[in-house]
Amino acid sequence: MSESCCNKGSNRLILACAGSANTGQMTYRLALELTREGRGNLFCLAGIGAHLSGFVVSARDAEEMLVLDGCALACASKNLEQADIPVRNHFIMTELGVKKQHGKAPTARQMAKIKEKILNALPTPEDPYYP
């Protein structure tokens, strides 16, 4: 069994913190939704954190990346940094206006609002600096 994951379709890897508070739940749900829409591919942050070479190499070699963190602890981006992987297109839900609440789920309205902010900020193929 190989340690690497295939990156089919879009060249954007999506990495989410998947924490337990509403903000962490939001990052993972957004990552799944964006993957289903073909805006990137959900990628295994745990494989990077475990230092599995295939995951680390795939993330380092990614043309484009979207990193979603729930709060200022920034667990997703710190996993990448400890593996010497450049963090690109990093969004923190609490910095986008979501109040962190344990034991609560994100609302559909919050999800839609944050998703729009993220999509508006991401580079597109028409951008001159798009990979």
Residue 75 lies in a domain: yes
Residue 89 lies in a domain: yes
CA atoms within 13 A on the CB side of 50: 9
**pLDDT of 123:** 80
By residue range, what is the domain housing residue 86?
12-119
User: Which of 4, 5, 32, 3 minimizes the C-alpha distance to 16?
Assistant: 32
Given a cut of 80, is residue 131 above it in pLDDT?
A: no
The two structure tokens encoding residue 28: 């993972």
Mean pLDDT of all residues in 91-97: 97
Residue 46 lies in a domain: yes
Domain with 68 in it: what CATH number?
3.40.50
Residue 19 lies in a domain: yes
Residue 51 lies in a domain: yes
Residue 126 lies in a domain: no
Given a cut of 80, is residue 52 above it in pLDDT?
A: yes
Query: Structural domain tally of the chain?
Result: 1
Residue 127 lies in a domain: no
**pLDDT of 127:** 67
What is the pLDDT of the chain when averaged over all its residues?
90
Mean pLDDT of all residues in 104-128: 89
